[in-house]
Amino acid sequence: MHALTIETTDDSTSNPLDEQRPIMLGLAAGLAPLALTACGGGGSGSTATVATTPPPPVVSTGPTRVQAARFLAQASLSSTAAEITQVQTLGYSAWLDQQMALPRSSSNVAWLRSKGLDNVAYKNSQVGADQMLWRKLLASPDPLRQRVTLALSEIIVVSVAGIANTPFRQFAAAAFMDILEANAFGDYRTLLEQVSTSVAMGGYLTYKGNVKANASTGSLPDENYAREVMQLFSVGLAQLNQDGSVKLSSNGQPLETYVQDDVSQLARVFTGWNVDIAVGTNDDPNRIVIPMVQYASRHELGTKSFLGTVIPANTDGVNSLRIALDTLMAHPNMGPFIGRQLIQRLVTSQPSAAYVSRVAATFNNNGSGVKGDLRAVLRAVLLDTEARADASVTDPTFGKLREPMIRFIQWARTFSVTDPTDEWKIGDLTDPATKLGQSPLRSPSVFNFFRPGYVPPNSPIGARTAPEFQITTESSVAGYVNFMQGAISNGVSGLRADYTSIRTVVSDSAALLAELNVVLAAGQLSAATLASLKSALDSISVATTAGSNNRLYAAITLVMASPEYIALK
């Protein structure tokens, strides 16, 4: 691995991490091989259908601090001492109930308006988009909703920079995130419809302004969204058993979910949709933040046939869309396809077939005959015995890499990063060499930052899915450590952390590491790692304020650079 450059801008007279560079370099260099052993698991080509066996009951009250912290690492955006105590007091199930009952905080659209970004001067820019996103993720008082919203944004993908032919792209992105947030605990069918009529998605996947075929010119409807709504947002490419395994033909080949004719036919449904020109003007975002509407003269009224469904001729665009989405929701792939991705985003990269099967069963029926109830599905994901079992922590096939932006958000929320000006000028952090290699709503393509089926090539984990490794490179590992060191020591864009809660134990390096191991790493740092870090921290004198600060900054940076932290079990 290439050498890392560890930079600091600490204004004290000495570099707080100079003496720790060998340890930091070793931790960072070892990130990939060590974390590889902690993620993924099982094969991905099984075709056997696993019965939906009810898991053993989950303990609902009395989790230990470490158990509560591990739960929060999957379900939330941080695990402060106070948050851990809350989970211990309420229990997992009641904590979920409380979080799901919280009212939504102010909308992203409202925040942009409050900052005057609806002024025509910002019409052809993205100004405010990153600020809006970071504000919610770092400061919103409903962490479960924000965690799920972020997960959904990596399944149903829009990227701010890719919203084409649309003024006020920041407002289009804001309205899109408001849709995900509003439906985070709602109905997946409703979410799909609202996403499908959003200006953001219409611009991103280029069906905004889509028109019916023209025989005289030979033009055909844009097929972009028709393809991706099936491939990525609903049913996937291959037919699945309920446990997520792929169905095979008699000659051993995967059975396709759809063919090109299904795409072409479904594309005709997405004709005639565009912004509502009866609302506002091109010089304000009013028509950008509301759903697109149908223009009947541009909609294909001929018969449409796809996935075994026929939409009769002369069915209007609104009803055609509803029939199409009902068809997707009725498909047997929906439960395992979406359920598995939610497990991946929140709990483990390659869940067992039984885990997927149980979550898919809940997606298919919430217990009251309702399909796609995300509230029930999230409970199934987070309360499943495999998610909560202590044995999973030592299972080499269980776990996932914490995404770089999740690590950054955890640090910021754990140590109360606030912005008294409410500006949140953190910016785009997607540069892997100097920042995180990831930033909310900044995916390079509709396939997200990483594919849910990504298998690292020539890796020690074998043929296991480990999606986050697709953005784990020599450059991104070094960039993450350097960026976090600067953030921890000096803040980000003028925003600084409040370390008051942890300063009381800085003089005792063992106690400091013990607390950081819980609130940051959910107790997953090994005794050997803690001993190495303690040795490093003990070399930093705390006789002065600068020395005390240096030890604290070093401790947090070293913990957050540890492979055992980065690989969430």
What pLDDT digit, counting tens, does each position of 304-351 carry? 999 999 999 999 999 999 999 999 999 999 999 999 999 999 999 999
CA distance 526 to 19: 22
Residues 326 and 414 in one domain: no
Long-range contacts at 158-162 (CB < 8 A, ≥ 24 apart): 158/200, 158/201, 158/204, 158/441, 159/204, 159/441, 159/442, 159/443, 159/444, 159/445, 159/446, 160/126, 160/129, 160/130, 160/441, 160/442, 161/126, 161/442, 162/204
Which pair of structure tokens corresponds to residue 520?
A: 């940051």
Task: Give me the residues paired with residue 401 across strands.
Answer: 567
User: Within a domain: residue 13?
Assistant: no
Span 252-273, average pLDDT: 98
Choose among 105, 109, 104, 106: nearest CA to 172.
109
Residue that terminates a domain, selected from 332, 357, 375: 332
Q: For residue 300, is it within any domain? A: yes
Token pair of 182, please? 């509003």
Two tokens at 394? Answer: 């030592």
Among 332, 358, 385, where does a domain finish? 332
Are 31 and 116 found together in one domain? Answer: no
Quote the pLDDT of residue 127.
97
pLDDT band of residue 502 (cuts 50, 70, 90) is very high
Residues 317 and 445 reside in one and the same domain: no
- Nearest one of 456, 448, 488 to 472, comparing CA atoms: 456
The residue range of the domain holding 500 is 18-40+399-568
For the chain, the domain total comes to: 2
* Same domain? 435 vs 295: no
299 phi and psi angles, rounded to 5 deg: -90, 140
- Going by C-alpha positions, the residue among 376, 355, 273 that lies closest to residue 317 is 273
Confidence bin at 462 (pLDDT 50/70/90) = confident
**Confidence tier at 48 by pLDDT (50, 70, 90):** very low
Whole-number pLDDT of residue 318: 98
Predicted confidence band at 39 (pLDDT cuts at 50, 70, 90)?
very low
439 falls within a domain: yes
Q: Is residue 346 a part of any domain in this protein?
A: no
Residues 148, 281, single domain; the answer is: yes
Sorting pLDDT into bands at 50, 70 and 90, what band is 61? Answer: low
Is 560 a member of any domain?
Answer: yes
Domain check: are 428 and 503 in the same one? Answer: yes
> In what helix (H) or strand (E) does residue 400 lie, and over which residues does it extend?
strand 400-401
- For residues 35 and 106, membership in a common domain is answered with no
* Two tokens, residue 100: 């799901």
Q: How confident is the model at residue 33 (pLDDT cuts 50, 70, 90)?
A: very low
In 216-333, alpha helices (H): 224-231, 260-269, 317-330
Task: Confirm whether 122 is domain-assigned.
Answer: yes
What are residue 241's phi and psi, to 5 degrees? Answer: -75, 170
Contact in structure between 108 and 174 (CB atoms under 8 Å) = yes
- Do 109 and 226 lie in one domain? The reply is yes
| Pair 554, 426 in one domain | yes
β-bridge mates for residue 568, sequence order: 400
Query: Is position 54 within any domain?
Result: no
Confidence of residue 26 (pLDDT cuts 50, 70, 90): low
Could you tell me if 233 and 35 are in contact, meaning their C-beta atoms sit under 8 angstroms apart?
no
% the chain with pLDDT above 90: 88
Average pLDDT over residues 126-134: 98
Q: Is the pLDDT of residue 13 over 70?
A: no
Residue 47: predicted pLDDT? 38
Calpha distance 258→209 (Å, rounded): 25
Task: Give dist(CA 467, CA 471) in Å, integer.
Answer: 8
Are residues 174 and 253 located together in one domain of the fold? yes
Can you give the pLDDT at residue 299? Answer: 98
HSE of 389, CA atoms in CB hemisphere, 13 A: 14
In this structure, the chain runs to a length of: 569
Q: What is the mean pLDDT of residues 241-262?
A: 97
Q: How confident is the model at residue 459 (pLDDT cuts 50, 70, 90)?
A: confident
* Mean per-residue pLDDT over the chain, rounded: 91
Inside any domain, residue 209 = yes
Pairing relationship of beta strands 273-274 and 293-294 according to DSSP bridges:
antiparallel
Question: What element of type H or E holds 309?
Answer: strand 309-311
d(CA 329, CA 312): 19
Point out the domain boundary residue: 332, 352, 381.
332
Partners of 248 in the β-ladder: 254
- Using the predicted structure, report yes or no on whether residue 35 has a pLDDT greater than 90: no
| Percent over 70 (pLDDT), the chain | 89
Query: How far is C-alpha 454 from the chain's CA centre?
Result: 16
What is the phi-psi region of residue 62: left when phi exceeds 0, alpha when psi lies from -120 to 50, beta otherwise? left
Cα–Cα distance measured from residue 423 to residue 217, given in angstroms and rounded to the nearest whole number:
50
Alpha-carbon gap, residue 531 to 431, rounded angstroms:
33
54: tokens are: 């009810």
> What single letter denotes the amino acid at residue 392?
S
DSSP label of 184: T
Q: Kindly state whether residues 36 and 112 are assigned to the same domain.
A: no
What's the rounded Cα separation, in Å, for the pair 382 and 242?
19
Task: Give CA–CA dist 520/481, Å, rounded.
Answer: 15
What average pLDDT does this structure show over 179-192?
98
* 8 Å CB contact between 509 and 551: yes
**Gyration radius (Cα) of the chain, Å:** 24
Q: What pLDDT is recorded for position 117?
A: 98
Q: Are residues 112 and 186 in the same domain?
A: yes
Query: HSE (CB half, 13 Å, CA atoms) of 498?
Result: 8
CA gap 176, 169 in Å, rounded: 10
Predicted confidence band at 58 (pLDDT cuts at 50, 70, 90)?
low
pLDDT given for residue 49 in this prediction: 40
Alpha carbon distances (Å) from 8 to 13, 499, 500: 12, 18, 22
For residue 116 the two structure tokens come to 């005057």
Mean pLDDT of 8-28: 44
